[in-house]
Structure 1
Amino acid sequence: MTRPARDEEKYTGIWPVMLTPFDERGEIDWVSLEKLVEWYLAAGVHGLFADCQSSEMFFLSDKESRELVGRIVAQVDGRVPVVASGHTASGLSQQVEQLGAMAQTGIDGLILISNRLALQGESDEKTLATLQQLTQQLPATVDLGIYECPWPYKRLLSDDIVQWCAASDRYSFIKDTSCHLPTMERRLALTQGTRLHLANANSQTLLASWMAGCHAYSGVMANFHPQLYVWLFENWRSQPQQARRVADYLATAAMIESLDYPACAKYWQRKLGNFTTMQCRVRGIGAFNDSFFPAAVDSMARLGDEIRLQALRQ
């Protein structure tokens, strides 16, 4: 079923940060990518975030990034909206060229990376000035967003930047990685009545952030059990007691992220039959395989299946 695309609903719900499957040679595995896309969609997700940190975008060439996103957009074919980044360049002119090319892939939203806007230690004023220059030079035909990517360093957006984005009417999506409910509540107040949507990346604060008015979840754990996140988003108001149980499980299960992500997620995707390898470009997989990590992922998944079945019976 095609999701509604009205502006107030378009950037709500569950938005997995997509993995990139690689073959044994370290090249993109296109067949596995097709399986992954259909797996997300079968789970009922509301949108996809392609070519992000989980996609190992800093380890993809610009050509690979554009082909990756172009194939995803073509396969999805409007079933859900797709946003993408690939914003890895440093110089302003290179960023304009890189982002402008990504905007031509057919995506609904183009996501800027906050730490590309200024060097670590530079001021928020420099960040805003760069953002304003970039915004002026990017196509007005595509929605814009910002992701507070933690690597190579995390730059959280100042209130002035959030307010400017909201007032500009160009920005529709912020992926918040503050992991701090009061910060999200402040940002929601600053953007109230605008088209800017706040997507929480943090499972531990997720339910509380939705209760406060946050619009979406866009985090790594949707690579393990997106169905549970979809259920929680669609039922937390009508089934508050069961929603609290699901949210408590998701908050605890999200600690798996610390076990050599994205290797742990690729392990799970291989176990599901979507991926043929666990190959990563960002890290080796030997430490994951030679540890208790696989058993921990398996235990988390088994318990998650029980929680999901209980929720569906309500």
Structure 2
Amino acid sequence: MENSQKGFIPVMLTPFQDNGNIDFDALTRLTELYLEAGAKGLFANCLSSEMFELTDEERIQAIKHVVKVVDGAVPVVATGTFGGAIGKQADFVKKVNDTGTEAVILITSLLAGQDESDAVFNERVFQLLNLTSDVPVGFYECPVPYKRLLSHEQLKSFVETGRVIYHKDTSLNIEDIKNKLKATEGFKFGLYDAYMVHAVESLKAGSAGLSCIQGNYFPELIVWLCNYYDDPSVQAEVDRVQRFLIENMDVMHNVYPIVSKYFLQKRGLNISLFTRRAVGDFTATVTKEIETLYTNYNLLQKDLDLKVAI
């Protein structure tokens, strides 16, 4: 997971049965879909996975299942911090690492409260690193329970330990991303951008790739963008893809992840719309918007001659 290896890292969904249990058969097929689309890695047990609505046992079960299905084809990262005392969080980080992940992801907003200083946060990060031996880790600036962004100075100090190899950036600010990339240059480390409004600019600036919810609609399109973002022979197509992502940003975020599961249903994946998280009503209006997105994507996919898994 280095900057020289541009790639798409899906933020994985968790398929559920209609009774609310994890649907491991659908999780197998979803994992295969990401791989067939060309993903360079997988982010399991993340916000899109409804990680806060899973028990610790379910989190470990789901991560183990993904690692087993992947079978070494690509790296898997997964969240390992869910609040509480640092010692408790360190114990779960080690459990996640034992599943076979490439790195265990630390949620920035769960290592210090919203009213606590960066100094307190930094102290807890180093304490956690000391308690987790040589486990490779990464950061995710998750917006829940609140968004805590890292400065480039903070990120540099963590990456310099040699333990931090991954960062999912949600700053929504291309200048912040550029500063982080400059500060961590030369290390075995990859920054993956979640914000598709400046996807192309972020890739050109040196990010390792993209890690976005849009990949839970059309992963092969995000892979295509990672492959061709800087290819002058298809610049018009790159610009078109970037516009498509921007124009449909709100549609894909509304009532998510139900809407992405519905989109995947239309693609042919046997996945229930069940979600444990309260995300709003899947109304007729929302349904129509996703139907339009599906139609427009099919046109774009055909024009780009993209091969789709289902």
- TM-score class normalised by the smaller sequence: over 0.9
Cα distance, 1:89–1:10 mapped onto 2, change above 3 Å? farther
- Distance, in Å, in 1 between the alignment partners of 2:271 and 2:152 is 44
- Distance, in Å, in 1 between the alignment partners of 2:130 and 2:8 is 30
Q: How many residues align?
A: 304
Please state if 1:40 is matched with 2:34.
yes
User: Alignment partner of 2:167: what SS?
Assistant: strand
- Distance, in Å, in 1 between the alignment partners of 2:302 and 2:267 is 18
- Distance, in Å, in 2 between the alignment partners of 1:284 and 1:169 is 38
- Distance, in Å, in 1 between the alignment partners of 2:295 and 2:169 is 29
Q: Out of 241, 244, 256, which is 1:246 matched to? A: 241
Please state if 1:145 is matched with 2:138.
yes
Deviations 1:16-68 (A, max 9, x none): 10000111111101111111111111111111100001001111111110010
- The residue number in structure 2 matching 1:200 is 193
Equivalent residues of 2:10, 2:43 under 8 A apart: yes
- Distance, in Å, in 2 between the alignment partners of 1:263 and 1:67 is 22
Mean Cα deviation higher: 57-66 or 271-280:
271-280
- The residue number in structure 2 matching 1:227 is 220
What value does the CA root-mean-square deviation take over the aligned residues? 1.6
Q: Out of 127, 137, 156, which is 1:133 matched to? A: 127
Deviations 1:227-257 (A, max 9, x none): 1111111112222222111111122222223
- Distance, in Å, in 2 between the alignment partners of 1:159 and 1:10 is 19
User: Alignment partner of 1:168: what SS?
Assistant: coil
Q: Residues 138-177 of structure 1 correspond to what in structure 2 (within 5 A)? A: 138-140=132-134, 142-177=135-170
- Distance, in Å, in 2 between the alignment partners of 1:38 and 1:57 is 20
Mean Cα deviation higher: 177-186 or 301-310:
301-310
- The residue number in structure 2 matching 1:186 is 179
Q: Out of 204, 229, 235, which is 1:236 matched to? A: 229
Q: Out of 277, 282, 285, which is 2:277 matched to? A: 282
- Distance, in Å, in 2 between the alignment partners of 1:51 and 1:167 is 26
Cα distance, 1:268–1:94 mapped onto 2, change above 3 Å? same
Equivalent residues of 2:255, 2:279 under 8 A apart: no
Deviations 1:245-293 (A, max 9, x none): 11111222222233111111122223333244211111166x11x3311
- The residue number in structure 2 matching 1:256 is 251
User: Alignment partner of 1:173: what SS?
Assistant: strand
The unaligned stretches of length 5 or more in structure 1 are 1-6
Cα distance, 1:10–1:87 mapped onto 2, change above 3 Å? farther
1:9 shift after superposition: 6.4
The unaligned stretches of length 5 or more in structure 2 are none
Cα distance, 1:97–1:81 mapped onto 2, change above 3 Å? same
Cα distance, 1:82–1:11 mapped onto 2, change above 3 Å? farther
- The residue number in structure 1 matching 2:71 is 77
Aligned letter for 1:259?
A: N
TM-score for both structures, normalised by structure 2? 0.93
1:123 shift after superposition: 0.5
Equivalent residues of 2:48, 2:213 under 8 A apart: yes
Q: Out of 288, 291, 302, which is 1:298 matched to? A: 291
Q: Out of 90, 110, 114, which is 1:116 matched to? A: 110
Cα distance, 1:72–1:123 mapped onto 2, change above 3 Å? same
